Amino acid sequence: MYILSFDIEDWFHIFDDAYYNKPEKWDSLPARVVRNTNWLLSFLDENNLKATFFCLGWVVEKYPDLIRKISDKGHELAAHSYLHTKVHHLSSKDFNKDTELVIKRLQDVTGKPIQIYRAPGFSLNKNTLWAFEILHAHGITIDSSLKSNLHMGFPGRIPPEAFLLKCNGYSIKEFPTRTFNLGGKHIIYSGSGYFRLWPYWFVKKMFRSSGYEMAYFHPRDFDDHIHKLFKGNPYLQLRYRIGTSHSRKKFQSMVNDFNFLTVGGAAEQLRWEDAKELKLVNGKLV
């Protein structure tokens, strides 16, 4: 089971540099998200593919026509927070407000319920277990914010496949992103900068051997211009230049080699009664 997802945010929605991590600055920076997402939508049309789009609330508010276009083309809309703040930097009250806003903005644009969530920067962990209660209260039934093979506060490692997070009176279907062990570090290969960095033969080998993968990209991953926008910061220029000249070609190979589903499509196909379960009760793991 291979799942295709995109986090719809702009090139400056990054965590590497505090300079860019200020919403009051975002309006003054040159936007690339509409242009790059339009390229993605054409690519998906040409390849007859549907995907899940985790949208940042700020982008939804600013470019409602883009989000409507994604929805009208039959893709699946999901939430990626309102202001892209890592969950562990928010109080539960602020997380509640942020989640409420992104869901409201998305529902206002399409009129469809939003049931799928991904936290910015995979930032759900042992300190933010309360977040699941809030996600549930806002109608979220599927999450894709965890990384496999890590503890992230859970008693066992996060399974390298979809699993059920059993909570007090409800459950969340979790779709983690897989990692592999490289010298004790758990490294991603199925998306974004990691996908751009690894040679395609390696990604393909990992996909072939696993049978479950969550591929995730940003519109900026396919834009070989954005590194020029990180003026005066050689580290960011390098980081966001790596692989962008080849990423469209690699992505084409990937969709030729594997059949992809949306998150919702995968959730419908899975036999959840056979899935692994982790238990979370009253904000604690038992």
The least distance separating Zn ion from the CB of residue 279, rounded to whole angstroms, comes to 28
Q: Which residue is nearest to Zn ion (CB)?
A: 7
Question: Using CB under 5 A, which of the segments 4-12, 38-46, 90-98, 147-155 binds Zn ion?
Answer: 4-12
Residue 226 makes CB contacts below 8 A (sequence gap 6+) with 11, 32, 220, 240, 244
Q: Binding to Zn ion by residue 191, rule CB under 5 A? A: no
Q: Which of residues 144 and 171 has its CB atom nearest to Zn ion in the complex?
A: 144
Asked if 78 contacts 116 with a C-beta cutoff of 8 angstroms, the reply is yes
Out of 3, 5, 7, 171, the only residue in the binding site for Zn ion (CB under 5 A) is 7
Tell the smallest beta-carbon distance from residue 79 to Zn ion (Å).
11
- Strand, coil or helix: what is 10? coil
Interacting span for Zn ion (CB under 5 A) from 1-9, 23-31, 157-165, 191-199:
1-9
Nearest to 60 by CA among 72, 51, 70: 70
Question: What mask, x for binding Zn ion by CB under 5 A, covers residues 105 to 144?
Answer: ---------------x------------------------
**Closer residue to Zn ion in complex, CB, 220/227:** 220
CA gyration radius, the chain? 18
Site string (9-48) toward Zn ion, x via CB under 5 A: x---------------------------------------
The sign of the CA dihedral 187, 156, 6, 27 is negative
**CA-based torsion, 17, 19, 25, 27: positive or negative:** negative
Residue owning tokens 């993968």:
213
User: Helices 92-110 & 130-137, crossing angle to 10 degrees?
Assistant: 30
Identify which of residues 7 and 143 has a Cβ nearer to Zn ion in the complex. 7
Residue count of the chain? 286
Binding residues vs Zn ion (CB under 5 A): 7, 9, 120
